[in-house]
Amino acid sequence: MRRFALIGNRAMSQGKLPLNDMAGGAGRMDVLVRALMASLLTSHGLRHDTEVVLHLNGGPGPSRRIKFVGSLLKGVHAEERAVAGQIAKVLRQPIPAQGHWIERSAGIFDGGGGLMHTLEEWRESQVVCLDANSPRLWSDDAKISLQSNPSSHFDGEHGAFTISGIDIGFILSDDKPLPDALPLSGIIHRSIGDEWLQGHMAIGICHFLLDEGVELRLH
């Protein structure tokens, strides 16, 4: 399973989402939408071995999480406004209790809580915080093969996929730095280059490495 935790430091957590002002009034929700699409969508379909958790920390009220599960999703189109519309439907609902998930539509879950709750749910996964100031994500001996060898696989039909291979989670922020209060244990910091990239570009690189089976530096 490939997992992405996207931190929206100013992204609104409830109310009427201003679809015509995603970069301003919605608290840079546009950044999260692009990252969400890069995480889940391919040119002609969905990544069924991927899940994404949006962390909406901009209020009003408590923080909210929205989880998109690729193996269960239906009706998600490759268009930013349509994806934002799915988020808008969730924001109109009351925020659930911390640590509790409610399925609002096929593959879209609504929950209270923050990043620490997500990390607790990911306790069996290898978690990587993307940080340009850290060692490279790939190993020193890593090579790109002439033939793809994906690090994760899925088989079956919609709603009943069997997912195998690597179980890895990535933490990324919006246009603001990641919170300083990340736990010191259970998370490794890795970079994909010296430049700080936009979230959707960083996610694309992570998927490429996993799609090709490039050896990662996870220890």
Which residue type occupies 172? L
Q: How far apart are CA 55 and CA 46, in angstroms?
A: 21
Distance, C-alpha 20 to centroid of its chain: 23
Cβ-contact 177, 135 below 8 angstroms? no
For tokens 């992204």, what's the residue?
11
pLDDT > 90 in the chain, percent: 82
pLDDT at 163 over 90: no
The domains of the chain are located at 2-212
The tokens for 16 are 């009427």
Higher pLDDT, 90 or 45: 90
Q: What pLDDT, in 10s, does the model give residues 30-64?
A: 999 999 999 999 988 899 999 999 999 999 999 99
Residue 4: DSSP 8-state: E
Identify the CATH number of the domain defined by range 2-212.
Answer: 3.40.1280.10
- 102, β-bridge pairs: 110
Output the pTM of the full model. Answer: 0.94
CB 10 within 8 A of CB 176: yes
Write out pLDDT tens, residues 63-89.
Answer: 999 999 999 998 788 889 999 999 999
